[in-house]
Structure 1
Amino acid sequence: MSTRIVVVGGGTAGARLAQRLPVTLLGEEPHAPYNRLLLADVLAGRYGPEVIALPAAREPARLGARAVRIDRAARTVECADGSLVPYDRLVLATGAAPVLPPLRGLRGAELPSGVHPFRTLDDCLALRGAVRPGVRAVVVGGGLLGVSAARALAAAGAEVVLTQQGERLMERQLDAEASALLHAHLTDLGVEVHTECRVSGLRQRDGAVTAVELADGFVLDAGIVVLACGVRPRVALARAAGLDVRTGVVVDDQLRTSDPHVHAIGDCAEHAGRVYGLAGPALEQADVLADLLLAESPAGATGGPVVSAPAAEPGAARRAPAPESGTAPQAPADPAGGARPLPRYTGTRALTRLTLGGARPLDLAAFGEATPLPGDDVVRLADATRGAYRKVVVRGDRLVGGVLLGDLGAVGTLARAWEGDEALPDAPLLHLLTHDGGSS
């Protein structure tokens, strides 16, 4: 490809695009791109940092290169070291930053010693260096990230307290029964879990954290505090450049921003009013954009060599020909006549999976709407002895959501039925929860 493509961000989305296309990748972190989903395993000591590295990019990345300004008129990206990187197409894959809650004792971005976010490999390594057997660690936030951090800290020998402001753990993904099983599993791992518990402040001595204060006046001693309160899209660079930004950087079905020469993918992108913040959609967006840029390239137009996409993963985006638009790029000619339809991103149905270790590891998966509406059909199978739970929600003849803990034998078939949004077979609904999802 002769088009100069610059990618800002070396996370999941940016790294995927750099595997597919020859691009200039500007990675703010000093590390080669890595799998962020495995940071908890690094913290637990199960993997070394080198094990979670992602496949290499087609071109060497510029690591430690922080983009500070976009000049859209000159089509250049300025880095913190003063260098200018020209582009024909710019891809923003700036990801998301951890949310720092408004707690007494937190002042700006300067964190007291012992207080850690849990988002990057540097965060993980700093936290791993601080953990020692018997240290008291308080995790603030009982969502997916907080649960993962609590499990990893317990595996590393810390005495862990997990605080969740909501009524149950992972309330965005799990229903009450599944969350109760997760609560019991963490307790078995030695984690002390507090729900409906709001953290209001931090106590410190000589610049180091000593305790966490709760809104009801209770105080939790702490040598380590992990802030796992969610993330928010990193959009400052895009906003300063004058691009359309709402919650994320607004993109269309071809992942273009309000500037047709600038795209956005991954955790920083907002498509059809939604910011996903998950790995599956980030990978799918990167693949759609790679296909689009290849289709527009001279090689793509003439049948030249095309980089093949990796195999699709669960949560695949549905792709369709783009509708005609006055600003849409022109489709290359098809040798058989007519125009080859351009790739189009129409959203991702993302499935959440998590494995929690321990003497009895626990696998969980959740997708779609786990809470039924009036008139929905619900099928549940529970085995309290084995700590297994399966539930699906059916609306009409469509599978709209599900939760599985323990045995995930049916998750593949269920995920395909949900992602495809196709009518379910005419069979008893209980068959959905068998190991083969009722396919035999």
Structure 2
Amino acid sequence: MSRKIVVVGWGPAAHRLVTGLLGTDAEVDVTVYAGEGAVAHDRSALPSTLARSRAGHEGHAAHEGHAAHEAPGARDRGDVAFDTTAAALPTPNDPRLDLRAGVRAVAVDRLHRLVHGSDQWVQPYDTLVLATGANPVLPPIRGLRTADGRDLLPGVHSAHNAADFHRLAEAAARGVHAVVIGGSSTGLAVAAALRISRGDDPLHVELVDQTPATPEITPTDAYLTLRRTGVIAYQDCRVRALESGSADALTAVTLADGHRLSCDLAVIACGTAPNTALAWTSGLAVARGIVVDDTLRSVSDPHIHALGACAEHRRSLSGRHETLLAQADVLAGRLSGLDPQRTYRGPVQRAANATSVVAEAEALLRAATA
């Protein structure tokens, strides 16, 4: 009899796990709740797809004819051609997989081992895997949201999933001045990508480093590379407020020292926090993340596992790409029966040197000057 495995989430960790399970002859039926859509994306590669969106902009400019006599930013740039194919992960084609695109898991009945979905379907499971990832952190900045508090101020964007980057690409195609708030690895990559996203008509981009640089980033190298792309970077600064105009759209970013940066586009890239809402309401042990042991099993329930950015292993969190892939491989080996004794002991420690953040920014610079 096939073992029913339910996976909540469809990010890189879930994709790696499911691919590993279906790559064996294990008798499993895998159901995936893919709330963000049928296509999984490598989030670390999304900023580079933003940089590639310039092709659509340039093509549109050529189609419109010669606009050399117009002031910069005056012409209507139209719809940008934005393609996330480079960041997309291949969807497995296997009869053992039931991929529920656009459906979210809203509750877990641990007593009866049932998952309730947003489509009103109740799915039984033998093993449940939570790969819910992380949510973008929104800093306490005055004016960040609309007056009713329900949405971000028009002109303000997060940079987390493919939908965010699609909206950001459209906004950048029409924007004049962008401010990236946050010195995270995503913030550095997004700032560099925005700068070159329009090819010969570069967007004016400034970056405000809200948080201290993480130990694995060499600040001098990272910011030197960023500035070589033409991005103006402010380190050790904080944003006090966002200003809106008569149309309730973003007009400026005000720093803590009172300095005002006029802009019509702002990107929030202040890191992420584990998405533990489903685990919390299900009664699982949650500290900063979902607490798991060396088998990546919840310490509260032997039938539930967690991996990736939502999992807390040995009191540590890690959203690193290589870490979540390693966790997925361990869990795939255990659940498929190929390596039932395999355990996860933590990420491999690396020496602090030039990181992928710097390499990514340098790659974007080479693309801009090619």
Farther off after superposition, 58-67 or 212-221: 58-67
Give the superposition deviation at 1:36. Answer: 1.2
SS at match of 1:184: helix
TM-score, length of structure 2 as denominator length: 0.80
User: What is the one-letter code of the residue matched to 1:204?
Assistant: S
Give the superposition deviation at 1:31. Answer: 4.1
- Tell me, yes or no, if the aligned pair for 2:134 and 2:274 is still in contact at 8 Å: yes
- Tell me, yes or no, if the aligned pair for 2:51 and 2:364 is still in contact at 8 Å: no
- Tell me, yes or no, if the aligned pair for 1:278 and 1:350 is still in contact at 8 Å: no
Equivalent residue for 2:62? none
- Tell me, yes or no, if the aligned pair for 1:19 and 1:55 is still in contact at 8 Å: no
Query: Which of 120, 125, 129 pairs up with 2:166?
Result: 125
In the alignment, structure 1 residue 30 sits paired with structure 2 residue 37 = yes
Equivalent residue for 1:12? 12
Equivalent residue for 2:330? 288
Q: Distance in 2 between matches of 1:3 and 1:110?
A: 42
Q: Aligned runs of 1:76-225 on 2, under 5 Å?
A: 76-107=114-145, 108=149, 110-132=151-173, 135-156=176-197, 157-166=202-211, 170-174=213-217, 178-205=218-245, 206-225=247-266
Give the superposition deviation at 1:51. Answer: 2.9
User: What is the one-letter code of the residue matched to 2:231?
Assistant: V
TM-score, length of structure 1 as denominator length: 0.68
Give the superposition deviation at 1:98. Answer: 0.1
Identity %, equivalent residues: 42
The C-alpha deviation readout for 1:240-275, integer Å capped at 9, x for no partner, is: 000000000000011111110000000000000001
Q: Distance in 1 between matches of 2:332 and 2:123?
A: 20
Q: Distance in 1 between matches of 2:163 and 2:329?
A: 27
What is the aligned length?
Answer: 314
Give the superposition deviation at 1:341. Answer: 6.5
Equivalent residue for 1:262? 304
User: What is the one-letter code of the residue matched to 1:232?
Assistant: A
Give the superposition deviation at 1:348. Answer: 1.2
Query: Which of 273, 276, 280 pairs up with 2:315?
Result: 273
- Shift >6 Å, 4+ stretches: none
- Larger-gyration structure (1/2): 1
SS at match of 1:21: helix
User: What is the one-letter code of the residue matched to 1:32?
Assistant: V
Q: Distance in 1 between matches of 2:261 and 2:185?
A: 22
- Tell me, yes or no, if the aligned pair for 1:281 and 1:350 is still in contact at 8 Å: no
Give the superposition deviation at 1:158. Answer: 1.5
Pair 1:183–1:277, CA change in 2 (3 A): same
Q: Please provide the CA RMSD for this pair.
A: 2.0
Q: Distance in 2 between matches of 1:162 and 1:124?
A: 17
SS at match of 2:40: coil
Equivalent residue for 1:306? none
User: What is the one-letter code of the residue matched to 2:206?
Assistant: V
- Tell me, yes or no, if the aligned pair for 2:186 and 2:269 is still in contact at 8 Å: yes
Q: Distance in 2 between matches of 1:341 and 1:91?
A: 16
Larger helix proportion, structure 1 or 2? 2
User: What is the one-letter code of the residue matched to 2:336?
Assistant: L
Give the superposition deviation at 1:35. Answer: 1.4
- Tell me, yes or no, if the aligned pair for 1:133 and 1:158 is still in contact at 8 Å: no
Pair 1:358–1:294, CA change in 2 (3 A): closer
SS at match of 1:4: strand
- Tell me, yes or no, if the aligned pair for 2:175 and 2:264 is still in contact at 8 Å: no
The C-alpha deviation readout for 1:57-105, integer Å capped at 9, x for no partner, is: 3424211011110111111111112111111100000000000001101
The C-alpha deviation readout for 1:219-248, integer Å capped at 9, x for no partner, is: 111111000000000001000000000000
Q: Distance in 2 between matches of 1:21 and 1:166?
A: 39
Greater RCO between the two (CA within 8 Å, min separation 6)? 2
List alignment gaps of at least 5 residues for structure 2: 23-29, 54-81
Q: Distance in 1 between matches of 2:297 and 2:291?
A: 8
- Tell me, yes or no, if the aligned pair for 1:201 and 1:214 is still in contact at 8 Å: yes
